[in-house]
Structure 1
Amino acid sequence: MIFAPFTGKDNHGRPVTFAAGLLSKENTNSFSWLFNQFVKCMGVAPKLIVTDQDLGMKVAVEEILVNTRHRWCMWHVMNKVADKLPKNMLGSEQLKKGLNACVWSELIEPDAFEETWHAIMERYGLANNVWFSSMFASRRFWVPAFFRDFPMSSLIKTTSISESQNSFFKRYSKSRANLMQFYMNFNHALETERSNSAKLEYYDSTKVPILRSGLEIEKHASTIYSCSAFNEIQDEIVYACFSLSCTTLGVSTSRDIEVYDIKDKDSNSWTVSYSIGDDTYLCGCKKFERLGLLCSHIFCVLKYNFVKLIPEKLCGGRWLKSQFVKPIHGGFCDDQEIHLVVDKKKIAYKNLYALFIETAQSIEGDIDKINTFAAIIEEGKKQLLREGVVLSSTQKRAMIENFYGSHVPTNIEVHPPDVVSTKGSGSRHKSKKEAALKLANKPGRKCGICYEIGHHDSRNCKKVHEKANQRQ
């Protein structure tokens, strides 16, 4: 069967598996069933799905995931360019440079892409090339210019993360494993993935990020973003606040909207609009819309207006620290404090989780301490959950439903398989008597050394005769 996982990214930028299915075939019907089950289990369809150029999957996405934006893997498309180009153009560096700049850029609008594409096709005589014409006709499926306004479209634009997960799961599976073994190996892989994610969350709660500027806005960013996201945000802050190439060229005001002209290091000019009424910022590069991270242009405007904390509407939710992680850097200026509404249950659970991780890491490698710690947890579990008390069936059912947060469905669609009568596999261990009777009934053959008819050959003739002489 074919293993089909659904892979995304967590707030650390690491791969995470949302779900997985087993398919008998890779056709439209199988993919349609898989997408149907995914939506049924998750309760909502994904906003974006990235696949290769499989036609069956494309049809299934259009039929089932109606409101999902479908994107093709850019690597699969661009990897075919060398095979589709005429042989006399394979060594043209100008063509490769111009085509890559046109296709991979996320800073140009669709109209600019189409104009540049047509210019390249005319310049190198590729206007009538069948493959290039078909790729241009399907440009809305793979060209980044058509995903500029789509939220988080730059989060995943190739299937490399999926290939990485496939390689990860191969380390935990075997080609000849049965379904039960595969399921156990799959759960083991998920436990490893969750453990790695828990370690990153623990590092977020204990590791103190190194500040490069000492600005309040950088300190604020270190308290709300995960470590991987903060590293990117930090570069944008330092560049916007200390680089001479990132400057504000001019400001114009129209009613309650302020428009800033910003120049970056590539001598590009960008427009940042600030709405005073709802405290929102919009930049022409659209990095915040594409990736969920602020650009240096917006930070330049924040510096210009002496804003010391990142506005709430610009924080987003994609790259923030998890709810179990507490901020490290504190001590903001007196005139601007961060007011956080914190749930007491979340604080208690966060402290419990941090205590467990800290204890588990401190005793790693000592089997006696690990067993003792496990015994303490098991005893505490029995006392808290009253495992020694006999409960009625109604109480047990209520306790289980309360633990999982759901009720037993009235209509059960998944049932255990039917019992099949078999005659056995023939692998039962036979006794010595049964083995001797089977050997005696087996027809003999002539030995090439002693020329006797028996149950031996030239390889073990000498040993057989020595054993016979010892018995006599």
Structure 2
Amino acid sequence: MKSAVSIVFPDAHHRLCSWHLLRNATVRVGRPGFLRKFHLCLMGDLEVDEFETIWTDNVADHELEDHLWIVEMYAKKHSWSNAHIRGKFFAGLKMTSRCEALNMQLEKFIHNGYNLREFVEHFQHYLEFMRRRELVADYKFAYGEPVVKTKLEAIEQFAATVYTREVFKLFREVLMLASNVRVVSTKRTSACVLFEVAMYCKQRSWAVSWAEEDDEFSCSCQWMESFGLPCVHMVGVLVYLNMTTIPKGLILDRWAKRTKQPRAPCDKTRVGEIPDAAYMSMHAAMLDDCRELVSLSCWFFEDYVDVKTRQGTKDAVEELLPLEESFAVFTGVDCVERVDTILASVNNRVCGRTSTVSRLARLTKAWRQERGVTSTTNLSERAVLFLLAVTHRVELD
């Protein structure tokens, strides 16, 4: 895997799983005293010289200088020691637990013994499950307002507007610790302002620099470079400077709400300007949206023939759109009445045509049975019935 990663992602830094390292240390060494110091070397916020001192003393105290696994791990220290990989971006991941959690979810949908067709079918169900979860999460952070929990209301509320919900929770934990930060000294240079900061009742200090002209911050702990969120030292300096917003340079695009917000209609992006991964994701999402309509078209053979041979689907949509041009946006308190108006118009225009009415009734029944729907009081259900009428080319001539 390491060789493949270096080829496909040449700028990536390979990191060993912390959980597996601790398990291997327990199995191969198994000495509680050594394990405590090993955990400190693995996860502790140490400088390189501090790591070297603790590691050397720990190995010497337990007489493990010639232990093969210890020698091998020391040679690979740049792949697991927090002191040596500080500043490399890992988004907070230290273990393979996220990948293993996805595998566990996948096992709920896919089992041994499936043939290729069954595998693809159940894998599509899994993708639909994941997309629905993401839609729910998007809805919550788009329309929900987090409760302010700190006394630093201005900067907390600003963070709630720019960060996604889960990342905002992480930032709020950092913000709560900012009250423990003490600015020991300040020094102004020609390029920036240097702040020496320390945590309450702690002797160790950190250096935070602020380029006032560009409004850029950096800290010697390199937490921002490693995780993508401002460290507690930076946030402490922001509070010290009475700032009520977070500088743009400290807001990583991948954690921001704006990343998933749609572009303005006038801001058109050509396919060639969209990254390959984004294009593939958009393409897959579109296919998933179309799959349900295609499935409904195949419920009955005559419907399949009708949809397959007709060329007037676009004309049907164009005839229905003048009935209510704002159907696509569904904004305002009268959206249900708008759908009722459209459906009533469809029913009136197909009245007396037995084949069309029966086909629409069959499609409606099939759609309801598939989802256990007993009524169409819900707006989304009414909207789907309207789409059924359009997609299956209800006779409007």
Q: TM-score, normalised by structure 2?
A: 0.67
More helix by share: 2
In 1, distance between residues paired with 2:13 and 2:387? 48
Task: Please say if 1:125 is aligned against 2:132.
Answer: no
Q: 1:214 to 1:119 in 2, by over 3 A?
A: closer
Give, in angstroms, the shift of residue 247 of structure 1: 1.3
AA matched with 1:82: T
Task: Please say if 1:293 is aligned against 2:300.
Answer: no
Give, in angstroms, the shift of residue 315 of structure 1: 1.3
Q: How many residues align?
A: 298
AA matched with 1:228: E
Q: 1:189 to 1:114 in 2, by over 3 A?
A: same
| Residue in structure 1 matched with residue 214 of structure 2 by the alignment | 278
Give, in angstroms, the shift of residue 136 of structure 1: 1.0
AA matched with 1:71: R
Deviation string 1:309-338 (CA, Å, 9 cap, x unpaired) is 111111111211255669xxxxxxxxxxxx
In 2, distance between residues paired with 1:291 and 1:129? 34
Contact (CA 8 Å) 1:202, 1:354: kept in 2 or not?
no
Give, in angstroms, the shift of residue 371 of structure 1: 9.2
In 2, distance between residues paired with 1:323 and 1:299? 23
Give, in angstroms, the shift of residue 228 of structure 1: 1.3
Q: Percent identity?
A: 23
| Residue in structure 2 matched with residue 58 of structure 1 by the alignment | 2
Give, in angstroms, the shift of residue 59 of structure 1: 3.4
Task: Please say if 1:202 is aligned against 2:209.
Answer: no
Give, in angstroms, the shift of residue 118 of structure 1: 1.7
* Map 1:64-463 → 2, pairs under 5 A: 64-85=8-29, 90=30, 92=32, 94-105=33-44, 107-151=45-89, 153-212=90-149, 213=151, 215-240=153-178, 243=179, 245-265=180-200, 267=202, 268-323=204-259, 343=264, 366-369=373-376, 373-374=380-381, 376-377=383-384, 379-380=386-387
| Residue in structure 1 matched with residue 307 of structure 2 by the alignment | none
RMSD of Structure 2 on Structure 1 (CA): 3.2
AA matched with 2:213: G
Contact (CA 8 Å) 2:42, 2:81: kept in 1 or not?
yes
* Map 1:28-67 → 2, pairs under 5 A: 57-67=1-11
Q: 1:274 to 1:181 in 2, by over 3 A?
A: same
SS in 2 for 1:318: helix
More strand by share: 1
Contact (CA 8 Å) 2:42, 2:80: kept in 1 or not?
no
In 2, distance between residues paired with 1:258 and 1:71? 34
Contact (CA 8 Å) 2:162, 2:258: kept in 1 or not?
no
In 1, distance between residues paired with 2:249 and 2:331? 29
Give, in angstroms, the shift of residue 164 of structure 1: 0.7
AA matched with 1:134: E
AA matched with 2:205: S
Q: 1:68 to 1:231 in 2, by over 3 A?
A: closer
AA matched with 2:72: S
Q: Which runs of 5+ in 1 are unaligned?
A: 1-56, 327-341, 390-472
Deviation string 1:238-290 (CA, Å, 9 cap, x unpaired) is 332xx3x3211110111131111111146131110111232110112221111
Q: 1:255 to 1:371 in 2, by over 3 A?
A: closer
Contact (CA 8 Å) 2:87, 2:223: kept in 1 or not?
no
Give, in angstroms, the shift of residue 224 of structure 1: 0.7
In 2, distance between residues paired with 1:102 and 1:160? 21
Q: TM-score, normalised by structure 1?
A: 0.57
AA matched with 1:283: C
AA matched with 1:221: A
SS in 2 for 1:368: coil
Q: 1:367 to 1:264 in 2, by over 3 A?
A: farther
AA matched with 1:99: F
Give, in angstroms, the shift of residue 120 of structure 1: 1.2
